[in-house]
Amino acid sequence: MEFFKDFQGVNMRIVYQDTKRGIIELVPETLDDLWHLSHIIEPGDMVSSKTTRRIQDSTGEKIRSDRGIKKTFFLGIKVEDISFHKYTGKLRATGMIEHGPEDLVPLGSHHTLDLKLKNSVKIQKEKWSRWNIKRLENAVKSSKKPSAIVVAVEDDVADLGIIRQYGIDYYGPIMGQISGKRIVQKNRKKAISDFFTDVANSLEKFKDVQSIILAGPGFTKGEFYDFLKDNYPEMAKISIIENTGAGGRTGISEVLKKGIIEDMATENRIAHEMRAVEELLAEIGKSSKLVAYGKKEVKTASNAGAIEKLLVVDELVRELDVEKIMELAENMGGKVLIVSTEHDGGKQLNSLGGIAALLRYGIN
């Protein structure tokens, strides 16, 4: 089995691999990388990384209020549970300790590894599925994909939608003090400038962004763009203006559904997934025979070679029967799209059983 060849980039780095033993050691560099790992690591895998534990003094003396001394060392566990907390940026693997310094930790006891950015993680599987390999390959290559921020601005309120591989992180609202009858014209100009400066300063926190979409229903987005041209010309160069019917998170969602981000970054995963789910829902709304959803219907369509595009939520990929459906659909010329449950499109697909397909022809 061959895994990867010399992938480099600012994102996930493969630092060691042993194809015979099914071992890959990597270094996650971004929150997106941790999200990918949360779907690659499975119960039964061996995972090793740095960990910190408080070790009691062997002499029995009371030290640091009986809390012990912090020591950092490498520890390996057989995974029983894996969880990703996107709001805290933590990926945790829990399981039984299989190897580590025996004078510090008892083998066979349970431990939770916090898998952190910049720390190497070694994963050993009995068998790496083709979907795990594809997912890891995409994570390693993701440094080539542009990221984007949608700024939904209306009057004196702005919301940011940071487009990530696992979904959307919302930032804001950023509030200004522009409106009000008592504010005089001179003060209003300063209030607008202060508000726009706050929004621009918030955008500057995201150094790696390559595209900015300024969205909203009124004139404020255009005024903000002019402000950027005068005061933040480099930011203005990567910005475009887009009309939406609403501001806030509704406006951000509207931008994604329009496919604007796909036009700017054709391989952007989230926008692509949301568009695919929209297409699926449209076919269902028409009572079309060219759609199937739920495991039973999709399996029948797969066996008939009728699947043109298969949509599967990431939570189901680990299930053996679903993996077989995916492999058969791909072998019969169908496209397979794994959809994240961290955005609205994935949640809508989940409500249909987590698996659905657009078909080449109707089946009985």
Residue with tokens 């077989």: 324
pLDDT at 7: 40
pLDDT at 127: 87
Please indicate, yes or no, whether residues 129 and 248 belong to a single structural domain of this protein: no
Please indicate, yes or no, whether residues 18 and 126 belong to a single structural domain of this protein: yes
Please indicate, yes or no, whether residues 24 and 136 belong to a single structural domain of this protein: yes
CATH number for 89: 2.30.30.870
Please indicate, yes or no, whether residues 50 and 118 belong to a single structural domain of this protein: yes
Q: For residue 347, which of 287, 281, 295 has the smallest C-alpha distance?
A: 281
- Domain of 303 in residue numbering reads as 270-359
Query: Total domain count for the chain?
Result: 3
Residue 214 falls within a domain, yes or no? yes
Please indicate, yes or no, whether residues 195 and 121 belong to a single structural domain of this protein: no
Distance CA 105, CA 95 (A): 14
Distance CA 254, CA 268 (A): 16
Distance CA 216, CA 239 (A): 14
Please indicate, yes or no, whether residues 240 and 328 belong to a single structural domain of this protein: no
Residue 227 falls within a domain, yes or no? yes
Residue 207 falls within a domain, yes or no? yes
Q: For residue 3, which of 128, 158, 184, 120 has the smallest C-alpha distance?
A: 128
pLDDT at 142: 64
Residue 1 falls within a domain, yes or no? no
pLDDT < 50 stretches in the chain: 1, 5-10, 62-65, 144, 146, 181, 266-267
Residue range 72-82, pLDDT digits in tens: 888 999 999 99
Please indicate, yes or no, whether residues 316 and 208 belong to a single structural domain of this protein: no
pTM of the model: 0.57
pLDDT at 68: 64
- Starting at the edge strand found earlier in the chain, the sheet holding 167-175 runs 167-175, 157-164, 148-154, 211-216, 239-243
